[in-house]
Amino acid sequence: MNSNNFQKIHMEESIISFSSGILEVTRLVVIVLDVVFFLFFIYALFKVIPYRPKFVRNPEKYASTITARKDSLILKEWGKILLLFKKGTPEAFRLSVIAADSLVDQVLKNMGLVGEHFADRLSRLGGEEMRNIDGVWEAHRLRNDLVHTPHLGISLDDTKKTLRDYYNFLKELGALD
């Protein structure tokens, strides 16, 4: 009986020793995995940094110093808008106004102005420093009417004025000559 108890005690000690060994190995594996996941997180963070949005602190304060850079793509897009306008059809007038609004919006985004919508970005410029901002607001309202009102037409004169407002604004921003 004594040797039987000895075997049981020895067996229990072996099981406890084995269990503590497994716990140590498990603990070591978890620590290694933590380090690997942390390093992966740091690696991923550095990979996505170039894709983060550009933020402008207090854009109203810096609006006068923010300028769009002249870009051949902007000039090319403006040329496409004018070619569309020269087709002379009511649908071409409508599409040219929508395209001009989109171009101005893209320029504002490229300048680093943030906002969910065109109007949000435009309002960050501050109207007192921009001579042509009222014309762009009016042009943008017309564009919204054209987009949201089915079968709304636009006259030749209104299209000319609207495109002129967009052009003058792009010129003031420094995006066009």
Model pTM?
0.61
Is pLDDT above 80 for 78? yes
* pLDDT score recorded for residue 5: 66
The answer to whether residues 158 and 143 touch, using CB atoms and an 8 Å cutoff, is no
Give the span between the Cα atoms of 106 and 99, in whole angstroms: 10
Give the span between the Cα atoms of 105 and 93, in whole angstroms: 19
Architecture of the domain defined by 59-173 = Up-down Bundle (1.20)
Kindly state the percentage of the chain with pLDDT values over 90: 41
Give the span between the Cα atoms of 134 and 116, in whole angstroms: 20
